């Protein structure tokens, strides 16, 4: 179409050719937008319109796709919605992690119970119920205290395990010697062998505890890693994905490695 638009220095005019607008005489006019002489009211309307457009984009956002890539502009509401979804998922994973820790802790206490028979064998002979219970409690209390107080994932790591076991051994020997002193003050005629006699058998109980505890801890870490990997791609924001999945995966894989376990593929 010829002469549809004609540029002017003080604005622009829109001309319609006769053939196109013969049937629309009202539109067959010279429409001119003169920026230089625009009234304040018209400028305010135009400025307000632009502000509305910018506000809509800022709040709701727009997405532009170019091939496989998507570019997001603005979108405060969309970002808030994503963060809300991430918060709910993060809370779900946190509860799951606590449940796994609770289960692991219960299994560690069960392990101490299972070691009772091996602990009883250290007494070497029959004893009265009172002194025998005191003897059994020495190892049980020490192991239960470790489950309750210590971070066993760190204490039983390859770099710390030997020193940690030696510390437990010293505590057991100290409490055993105190028990002997108390028993000697009794009139029941009870006697227990010197700690040197049973000293070589105590490590067997401790090694059984540490080896089995490692297996329990490794299984718990593996369970967490599996769930984190399943949920990782569900997070909408990179920050939440890193803090709730990627970092915990890295941390638990480190625990497994330090405990001497094999990483899951």
CA dihedral 174→176→180→181, nearest 10 degrees, is 30
Q: Identify the pLDDT of residue 47.
A: 67
DSSP H helices in 61-188:
76-114, 116-120, 129-149, 152-155, 161-184
Condensed to tens digits (0 to 9), the pLDDT of residues 118-169 reads: 777 766 555 555 566 777 788 889 999 999 999 999 999 999 999 999 999 9
Residues of the chain with pLDDT under 70: 1-39, 41-43, 46-47, 49, 52-81, 122-132, 186-192, 264-265
Q: Identify the pLDDT of residue 65.
A: 58
Q: Identify the pLDDT of residue 4.
A: 40
Q: How far is the C-alpha of 244 from the C-alpha of 92, rounded, in Å? A: 10
The pTM assigned to this predicted structure is 0.68
- % helix, strand, coil for the chain, step of 5: 70, 10, 25
Q: Identify the pLDDT of residue 56.
A: 62
Q: Identify the pLDDT of residue 135.
A: 74
C-beta atoms surrounding 210 within 10 Å: 22
Task: Provide the token pair at 17.
Answer: 């050719």
Domain map (residue ranges) of the chain? 5-73, 78-258
CA dihedral 244→246→251→257, nearest 10 degrees, is 150
């Amino acid at each position: 179409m010829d002469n549809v638009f004609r540029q002017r220095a003080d604005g622009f005019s829109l001309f319609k050719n006769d053939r196109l607008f013969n049937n629309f005489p009202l539109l067959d006019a010279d429409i001119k937008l003169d920026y230089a002489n625009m009234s304040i009211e018209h400028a305010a309307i135009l400025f307000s319109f632009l502000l509305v457009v910018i506000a809509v984009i800022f709040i709701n956002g727009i997405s532009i796709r170019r091939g496989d890539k998507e570019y997001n502009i603005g979108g405060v509401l969309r970002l808030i919605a994503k963060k809300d979804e991430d918060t709910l998922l993060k809370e779900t994973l946190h509860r799951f992690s606590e449940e796994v820790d609770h289960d692991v802790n219960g299994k560690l206490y069960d392990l101490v119970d299972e070691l009772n028979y091996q602990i009883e064998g250290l007494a070497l002979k029959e004893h009265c119920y009172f002194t025998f219970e005191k003897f059994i409690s020495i190892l049980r209390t020490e192991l239960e205290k470790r489950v309750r107080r210590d971070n066993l994932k760190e204490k039983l790591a390859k770099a710390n395990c030997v020193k940690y076991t030696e510390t437990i051994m010293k505590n057991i020997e100290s409490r055993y010697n105190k028990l002997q002193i108390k028993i000697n003050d009794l009139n029941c005629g009870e006697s227990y062998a010197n700690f040197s006699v049973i000293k070589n058998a105590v490590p067997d109980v401790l090694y059984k505890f540490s080896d089995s505890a490692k297996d329990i801890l490794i299984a718990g870490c593996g369970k967490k890693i599996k769930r984190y990997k399943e949920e990782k791609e569900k997070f909408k924001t990179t920050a939440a994905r890193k803090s709730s999945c990627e970092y915990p995966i890295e941390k638990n894989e480190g625990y497994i490695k330090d405990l001497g376990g094999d990483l899951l593929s």
